[in-house]
């Protein structure tokens, strides 16, 4: 359904661009005042003005529908997992201490220490082969 509405939306955009380009320029900002057209001046102004207004309304409606339809599947996500219960304080009042080994941070720290020991003391010149 979304694909059908996108195609209709693009058709509305193409027709609206054509309708705006066919309208007579009132300001003459580029020196291209409206010359003789294929329709009379009054009929063209009324038809194109109304058509542009209808196309603009349809454009806004399809835009709103597409944004609403795209947001249907979104659900707010929590950073904190809701499956795990929150840690509680023991009855004695002693604070909970985190585990001291086996964590990902500990393994990364060990890897950094091993790389630091193997690193050369200073810069070396490139060797030719």
Calpha distance 120→117 (Å, rounded): 8
Calpha distance 129→126 (Å, rounded): 10
pLDDT for residue 65: 95
Q: pLDDT 10s per residue in the chain (129 long)?
A: 889 999 999 999 999 999 999 887 766 555 555 555 555 555 667 888 899 999 999 999 999 999 999 888 887 777 776 665 555 655 666 666 665 666 777 778 888 887 767 656 667 777 776
Structure tokens that stand for 100 in this block: 């001291």
Evaluate whether 83 touches 43 at the Cβ level (below 8 Å): no
DSSP 28: -
Over residues 25-52, the pLDDT tens digits come to: 766 555 555 555 555 555 667 888 899 9
Calpha distance 129→125 (Å, rounded): 13
pLDDT for residue 120: 60
pLDDT for residue 72: 85
CA 24 to each of CA 18, 49, 54, 83, 110: distance values in angstroms, whole numbers, following the listed order: 12, 10, 18, 64, 74
pLDDT for residue 18: 93
Calpha distance 96→93 (Å, rounded): 9
């Amino acid at each position: 359904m979304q694909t059908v509405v996108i195609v209709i939306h693009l058709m509305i955009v193409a027709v609206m661009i054509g309708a705006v380009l066919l309208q007579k320029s009132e300001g003459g900002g580029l020196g291209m005042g409206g010359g003789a057209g294929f329709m009379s001046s009054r009929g063209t102004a009324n038809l194109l003005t109304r058509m542009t207004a209808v196309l603009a309304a349809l454009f806004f409606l399809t835009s709103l529908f597409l944004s609403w339809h795209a947001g249907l599947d979104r659900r707010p996500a929590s950073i904190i997992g809701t499956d795990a219960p929150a840690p509680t304080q023991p009855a004695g009042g002693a604070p909970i201490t985190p585990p001291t080994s086996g964590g990902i941070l500990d393994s990364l720290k060990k890897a950094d220490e091993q790389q630091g020991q193997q690193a050369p003391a200073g810069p070396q010149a490139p060797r030719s082969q």
